[in-house]
Structure formats: C-alpha cells, structure tokens
C-alpha cells in the first residue's frame, strides 16, 4: 500500500468547494481519506509470520526462474534477428537475476525482517540502485535502469506467482512478444474506516479491498456502469466516480464526505456540512430499512402482474445478501471475479464446491452462472493477454474462453457437476455470432460427457447467452432458435451500440440506456424471445433504475436482475404502477427520437409518483439520466 507522499501541512484546513462526479453507489460516508496515486501502491507489502518464511523464499526462487525463462524465451526468439551486441543486454539481465548479492539481500529481508517476497524484492532493488547512483562512471550509473527493469520483471512474476500457472495459461502465440499482464491489485491495508481516493480502481483492486474497513470510494475515472461502481453498489459502499481532479484536491489524512446520493465529494467539511451530510445518510439508511421491511412481499405491479427480481452477484458472500434482500434467484453470477484476485486460477474442484454451495444455498431458486467474462478491464494475474489497442473490442469473454479450452472446460465441468445440487443455468458472455454459441454448446456437451465418464452426478444445465453486442440484439431471432434464454447486458450494449467507452466519464451523459437505439434493440430481443418462447431478462445497471425498470416492464420484460441492495427500491416502484401505464409509456417513447426526449417523457409520466425513491426533486428539469442519477435526498 502506498499513500500520497505530499504533506497535509500545505493545506489551510479550511473547507473547500465540493467536487462533483457521478453517483456510483448510494449512501453517505464520512472518514479519513487515503489517496492512492497512479502507479504507486501496487506492490503488496506485508509483514509475514515466521512460518511463512519458507513459502516466501520459494516464491522468490520461482519468480527468478520465471523471469529468467521469459528473458531466455525472448533471447531465442530475437537471436537470429539482432546483432550480438544487442543480445548482450538480455544476457546482462539474466546475470543480474542470478546475482547472489540480489538473492542474499532479498533473503535477508524475508528471513530477518519478515517482509513478504514483493516487499523484499522492492527493498533489495532500491538498495542496489542506490549503489549504482553513487558510482562516478556515468555509463555505469545508467545501469540502474536495468536493475529497475529486472526488479519489475520479478514483481510481475511474483504477481503471477509461479511459472507453472503462467505456462499452463499462456495465450501468446509463437512469435508474439508483446503481452498485456494485469497490474497486481493494490495492496491496501488500513486499520481505521477509510475512504479510498484513486485515479482508477480495477475490479481486482476493489475485490482486494473488501477485506479492509473501506467505507467509501472516490475515483477520477469511471461511470455508473464501470466495475468499480458495480462492485461498490454490490458491497453497499458509497462511491462517487468520475471525479475530475480528486487526486490533486484530496490529501491523505483529510476528512472527506463521499456523498453517493448526490455524486459529491466534500473535502475537509465544516462541522455543519458534516452534520447535514450525516443526516442525509441517515435518512437514506432509514428509508432503505423501511423499504426492506416489505421485502418478503411478492414482486408485482399494482394490478398484480408478476415481475421477477433477481440479484447480480460478484463474490460468493453476496449470494446470501441476495436472499436477505428478497432476490428470487441469482440472475447473473459474474464468475470472472473468482479469477481476478488470486495467484492461481480456481481449479475445477474448487469451482464445483463453490457453485454447489451457491446452488444449495439458493435452492429452489435458480442461479444463472455466467462463464468467465475476462479481458477488457477485467484481467486475471495468471492469464496473459495480447497487447491490444482496444481491449474492450478484443480477446474478451466467450472469445477468450474459446481460445483457452482447458481453462473453459474446467469451468464448464464444475458447473455441470454442481447442476446435480440445485437449479443452475449457464450463460455465455459477449456472444456476437451464432457460431460462438454453437461452439459453447459443443464444449458444454463435451463437459457433460466428461463428467459422466468420471462417474460424477449431474442435473440439467440450460445454456443461455448475454445479449450485449448489437450483432446479437439485431439477430436475436437467429439466436433464439438455439439459446435457452437471453439476458440483456445493457452496460455493454450501450457501450457497443453507441460506441461510448463505458468507463468514460466525459461521455457518461451520452451513454444513456434510454437512447432510442438501445430501446429498439431491446424491443427486438423481447419480440424474438417471445416468438421462440424463451425468457429474456435484463441484468445491466438499467434494471436497477426505477424509471428505466418500469419502462422495461412496459416493453415486455418480466425479469430484472440487479445489485441486491436495489431490489427493495425497484419492488416499491413496481407496486405503484399498473401494466397498462407501463405499456402506454413504452408505446409513447418508441415514437421519440432522442435519449433526452425519452428521459423527459418517462420522468413526466412516473417521477412524481416515485419522488421519495428518486429524491423528491423535480426530475423534469433537467431530465434524469441513468448514468448519473439525480440526488436522492436534499
Ligand atoms: C452488462 O454488460 O450489462 C453486464 C451485465 O455485464 P458486465 O457489467 O459484467 O459487463
Ligand atoms: Mg457485459
């Protein structure tokens, strides 16, 4: 972990103007800030127990071997193409890795000072760099960069832990030298309730932080549909994302208010301001508690029409939360989170145990397991991905799974085995062609055969797909012939249909799921699913916006899946409208031409009756947007 090194003394201590961002996760938190600067804090530093010493030493030895073999590989590949003197630098790196003085410095840090391997390498490298800095010879002084390079290779190898796992999962084609390795998750360790302020937090960062008493997040980038916000909502931690200038304005140690209701961040607030924010947070909390009292009541519109509300789950612990929040099942289990905060991919047996536990815990409710959606911004330390200009348009989700059949098969077999213990469904992410769906089908069939051959039991496992690529929405009729069900991922559908990066806060206001293009795509999916007699649900963030949820119901959707914490609010919104009203609104918005017109129309129709849920503000001016929801309290 690392915090801002700038001294708090440069501040006057006076309250400053609030910073504005996007309300990423509701609630209000007041605590001390920990500012994480980009590029810092990536090295997990940990004091280890005496018993862990042999393991950390072994990790270091493994990392050296891994780094050496990677450099040797590069050497072999470029040997024929480069003159001998250029190859010398690679040989020098090999020699540095084998240098006994580096090894003994690392060993001493681990054995005598009980530092973990990453920390020990960092300190040993710093020590050697200092020695180089003192040399008179300018050429030799410059060699410090080579030492740093070697240190970096070791850190990366440590992040991936063991050469065995890297070897098994290597995705690099022969001859391809550039690979995209994930940055190791931030190693944040805090003792007090803390608000983390960062430029960006990867899903792995956020997942790693749940073990710490983090009570709020502020990030400079991100939107309501970026994964930091999704994760924060799942964990019910207030967050404001897309806050330009947060790092420059906040210092570690400042008291900060994260107002995830209004999308505001107050730095060094006055006592009055803090009291008002606290009161706002308390009101939000009481209202939420009140709504949750009615959670056991069925989820119906005012006229009795049933709408099934399910939970989206990222981490195993959230499944129980889903039940507590009245979810009728898990509509989206994002299994990729099993891969991202760890050094080894989960084995088939480990996944089987987990899926079985979840199936049993949720039984008789259904659980939809989405196969890993890795790639894009969700990277796993053990999986190397090629360097791509646009990872969101690259080797992600089902594309990656089909390129890595061993990894994929292990997951599918685990799901098949777990199907003996509850009602499970499997769902493929980011499908863009029927050919991909068919390939997924044939691998699933193979998984069934292998599970049976191994003597394991299994049940039914319908195969469905996410509709989150416009191609799939347009061709929904073709997919509906072969998929058991659809689930529309509006976060990505908006990103790909409107060509707006879902993490771009500059364009967040344009990335509206109320855009006529998105509504038409969804309408097409509803039509195709009805004709084929299969279900179509919505599992993107659009489902947890009360106004959008009602519109979706009017369009024919009868199943919504969202962060568990939002279920109570959506259930309440449903109780206040009839199907007739929702359908009339849906018919009207289909005649409109812009997202703003649709938003205004929806707000005029429904916002007055949902004002307590939406904040009691006049939502007709300016129109509300799902991507940056209006304040929910005053
Ligand atoms: C989506 O794209 O809407 C979705 C639910 O999947 P994810 O947010 O995990 O990409
Ligand atoms: Mg998606």
| Cα–Cα dist 425/439, whole Å | 17
pLDDT bucket at 117, cuts 50 / 70 / 90:
very high
Structure tokens at 308: 């099934």
Using DSSP, state whether 103 is helix, strand or coil: helix
Residue pair 259/240 in contact (Cβ under 8 Å)? The answer is yes
Q: What is the pLDDT of residue 630?
A: 39
Residue 606's pLDDT is what?
95
In this predicted structure, the answer to whether residue 178 has a pLDDT above a threshold of 60 is: no
Q: What are 495's two structure tokens? A: 């990103």
Which residue segments constitute the domains of the chain, with CATH numbers given? 2-39+187-290 (3.50.30.10), 50-170 (1.10.274.10), 294-615 (3.20.20.60)
- Residue 486 has phi, psi (to 5 degrees) of -120, 150
Ligand 2 centroid to Cα of residue 489, in Å, is: 5
Point out the catalytic residue in the list 325, 539, 582, 601: 539
161 confidence band (pLDDT: 50, 70, 90)? low
Active site residue 325: no
Give yes or no for a contact between 38 and 291, defined as CB atoms under 8 angstroms apart: no
Q: Is the dihedral of CA 390, 391, 393, 394 positive or negative?
A: positive
Contact 328, 309 (CB under 8 A): yes
The pLDDT score that the predictor gives to residue 1 is 33
> Does the structure show a pLDDT above 60 at 602?
yes
Q: How far apart are CA 192 and CA 533, in angstroms?
A: 53
User: What does each C-alpha distance from 57 to 46, 234, 344 come to in angstroms?
Assistant: 14, 37, 18
Q: How many CA atoms lie within 13 A of 131 on its CB side?
A: 9
Residues 428-452: b if buried by 16+ CB within 10 A, e if exposed: bbbbbebebbebbeebbeebbebbe
pLDDT (tens digit per residue) in 378-434:
888 778 788 788 999 999 999 999 999 999 999 999 999 999 999 999 999 999 999
pLDDT at 454: 97
pLDDT value of residue 111: 93
Query: Is residue 134 classed exposed, middle or buried when 0-12, 13-18 and 19+ CB atoms within 10 A define those classes?
Result: exposed
Q: Which ligand is nearest to the CA of 377?
A: 1
Closest CA to 241 of 451, 508, 7, 23: 23
Ligand 2 is a single-atom ion; what residues have CB below 5 A from it? 468, 489, 492
Pair type for strands 485-488 and 535-538: parallel
Q: Which two tokens stand for residue 447?
A: 């998984």
Burial of 210 (0-12, 13-18, 19+ CB in 10 A): middle
CB 93 within 8 A of CB 150: yes
CA nearest ligand 1 atom 10, residue: 492
Whole-angstrom distance, CA of residue 182 vs CA of residue 380: 7
Q: pLDDT band at 534, cuts 50/70/90?
A: very high
In this structure, how many other beta carbons lie within 10 angstroms of the beta carbon of residue 10? 7
In testing the pocket of ligand 1, which one of 226, 432, 489 has its CB within 8 Å of the most ligand atoms? 489
* 2 confidence band (pLDDT: 50, 70, 90): very low
Question: What percent of the chain lies above the pLDDT cut of 90?
Answer: 57
Highest mean pLDDT among 227-241, 320-334, 383-397, 573-587: 573-587
Place of tokens 């998750």: 185
Mean pLDDT on 49-58: 88
- Per DSSP, the three-state class of 241 is strand
Tokens of 75: 């050497």
Element spanning 14, H or E: none
Give the chain's length: 634
> Which atom of ligand 1 is the closest one to the Cα of 332?
5
Residue of higher predicted confidence among 104 and 155: 104
Strands (E) across 363-501 are located at 366-370, 385-386, 424-428, 463-467, 485-488
Task: Write out pLDDT tens, residues 211-262.
Answer: 678 999 999 988 988 888 888 888 889 999 999 999 989 998 999 999 999 9
Residue 148: closest CA among 162, 130, 135: 130
**8 band by pLDDT with thresholds 50, 70 and 90:** very low
* 31: β partners: 256
| CA 446–ligand 2 middle distance (angstroms) | 26
- CA-CA distances (angstroms) from residue 136 to 99, 125, 485, 506? 22, 20, 70, 49
Sign of the Cα pseudo-torsion (52, 58, 64, 68, in order): negative
Ligand found nearest the CA of 229: 1
Asked if 539 is an active-site residue, the reply is: yes
pLDDT attached to residue 167: 25
Percent of the chain with pLDDT over 70: 86
Give mean pLDDT, residues 265-292.
Answer: 91
Q: Which atom of ligand 1 lies at the shortest distance from residue 376's CA? A: 10
Beta bridge partners of 218: 197, 240
Nearest by Cα to 208 from 46, 14, 392 = 46
How many angstroms does the Cα of residue 196 sit away from the middle of ligand 2?
26
The protein residue whose alpha carbon is closest to atom 6 in ligand 1 is 489
Q: Which residue among the candidates 227, 266, 284, 458 is catalytic per the annotation? A: 227
Name, of 220-224, 338-342, 599-603, the range with top average pLDDT.
599-603
Lowest mean pLDDT among 139-153, 315-329, 382-396: 139-153
Q: Nearest 5°: phi and psi at 259? A: -105, 90
C-alpha–C-alpha distance, residues 525 and 538, integer Å: 11
Ligand 1, atom 4: closest residue by C-alpha:
489
Q: State the pLDDT confidence band at 615, using cuts at 50, 70 and 90.
A: low
Q: What is the CA radius of gyration of the chain?
A: 26
> What single-letter DSSP state applies at residue 375?
B
| Average pLDDT estimate for 607-613 | 89
Q: State the distance from the centre of ligand 1 to the C-alpha of 202, rounded, in angstroms.
A: 15
Mutation choice for ligand 1 from 536, 539, 561, CB with most ligand atoms inside 8 A: 539
How many C-beta neighbours within 10 Å does residue 239 have?
33
Ligand at shortest distance from the CA of 334: 1
For residue 372, the CA-to-ligand 1 centroid distance in Å is 12
Is there a contact between 613 and 294 (Cβ–Cβ < 8 Å)?
no
Read off the pLDDT band of 130 (50, 70, 90): confident
Q: List residues near ligand 1 (CB under 6 A).
A: 230, 332, 334, 373, 468, 489-492, 539-540
Pairing of strands 424-428, 559-563: unpaired
Which residue's CA is the nearest one to ligand 1's atom 3?
489
pLDDT of res. 192: 84
> Which residue's alpha carbon is at the smallest distance from atom 9 of ligand 1?
334
Does 453 have pLDDT greater than 90? yes
| Nearest residue by C-alpha to atom 1 in ligand 1 | 489
Distances in Å between the alpha carbon of 611 and those of 282, 458, 584? 18, 48, 20
Ligand 2 mean position, distance from CA 495 (Å): 9
């Amino acid at each position: 972990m690392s915090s801002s090194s700038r001294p708090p003394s440069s501040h006057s201590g006076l309250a400053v103007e609030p910073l504005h961002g996007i309300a990423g996760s509701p609630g209000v938190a007041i605590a001390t800030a920990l500012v994480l600067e980009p590029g810092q804090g990536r090295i997990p530093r940990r004091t280890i127990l005496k018993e862990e010493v042999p393991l950390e030493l072994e990790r270091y030895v493994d990392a050296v071997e891994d780094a050496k073999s990677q450099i040797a590989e590069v050497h072999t590949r470029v040997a024929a193409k480069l003159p001998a003197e250029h190859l010398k630098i690679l040989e020098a790196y090999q020699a540095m890795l084998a240098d006994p003085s580096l090894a003994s410095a690392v060993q001493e840090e681990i054995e005598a000072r009980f530092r973990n391997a990453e920390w020990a390498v960092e300190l040993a490298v710093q020590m050697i760099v200092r020695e180089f800095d003192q040399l008179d010879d300018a050429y030799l002084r410059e060699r410090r960069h080579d030492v740093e390079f070697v240190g970096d290779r070791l850190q990366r190898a440590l992040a991936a832990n063991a050469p065995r796992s890297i070897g098994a999962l290597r995705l690099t084609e022969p001859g391809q030298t550039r690979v995209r390795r994930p940055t190791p998750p931030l190693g944040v360790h805090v003792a007090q309730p803390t608000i983390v302020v960062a430029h960006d937090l990867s899903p792995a960062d956020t997942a790693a932080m749940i073990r710490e008493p983090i009570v709020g997040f502020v990030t400079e980038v991100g939107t309501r549909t970026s994964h930091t916000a999704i994760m924060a909502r799942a964990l019910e931690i207030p967050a404001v994302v897309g806050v330009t200038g947060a790092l420059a304005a906040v210092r570690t140690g400042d008291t900060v208010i994260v107002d995830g209701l209004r999308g505001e961040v107050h730095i060094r607030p006055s006592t009055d301001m803090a009291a008002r924010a606290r009161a706002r947070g308390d009101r939000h909390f009481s209202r939420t508690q009140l709504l949750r009292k009615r959670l056991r009541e069925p989820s119906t519109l005012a006229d009795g029409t049933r709408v099934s509300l399910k939970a989206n789950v990222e981490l195993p612990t959230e499944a129980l939360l889903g039940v507590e929040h009245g979810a009728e099942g898990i509509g989206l289990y994002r299994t990729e989170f099993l891969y991202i905060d760890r050094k080894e991919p989960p084995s088939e047996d480990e996944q089987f145990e987990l899926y079985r536990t979840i199936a049993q815990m949720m039984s008789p409710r259904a659980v939809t397991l989405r196969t890993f959606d890795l790639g894009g911004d969700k990277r796993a330390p053990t999986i190397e991905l090629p360097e791509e200009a646009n990872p969101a348009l690259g080797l992600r989700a089902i594309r990656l799974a089909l390129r890595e059949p061993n990894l994929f098969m292990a997951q599918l077999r685990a799901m098949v085995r777990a199907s003996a213990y509850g009602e499970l469904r499997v769902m493929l992410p980011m499908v863009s062609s029927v050919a991909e769906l068919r390939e997924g089908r044939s691998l699933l069939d193979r998984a069934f055969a292998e599970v049976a051959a191994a003597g394991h039991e299994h049940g039914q496992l319908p195969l469905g797909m996410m509709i989150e690529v416009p191609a799939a929405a347009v061709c929904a009729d073709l997919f509906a012939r072969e998929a058991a069900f659809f689930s529309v991922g509006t976060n990505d559908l908006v990103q790909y249909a409107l060509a707006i990066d879902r993490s771009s806060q500059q364009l967040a206001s344009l990335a509206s799921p109320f855009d006529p293009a998105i509504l038409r795509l969804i309408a097409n999916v509803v039509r195709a699913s009805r004709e084929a007699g299969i279900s179509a649900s919505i599992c993107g963030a659009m489902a947890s916006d009360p106004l959008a949820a009602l519109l979706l119901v009017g369009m024919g959707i009868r199943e919504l899946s969202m962060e568990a914490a939002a279920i109570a609010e959506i259930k309440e919104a449903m109780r206040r409208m009839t199907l007739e009203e929702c359908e009339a609104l849906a018919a009207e918005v289909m005649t409109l031409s812009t997202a703003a017109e649709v938003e205004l129309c929806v707000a005029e129709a429904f916002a007055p009756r949902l004002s307590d849920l939406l904040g009691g503000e006049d939502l007709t001016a300016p129109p509300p947007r799902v991507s940056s929801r209006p304040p929910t309290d005053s």
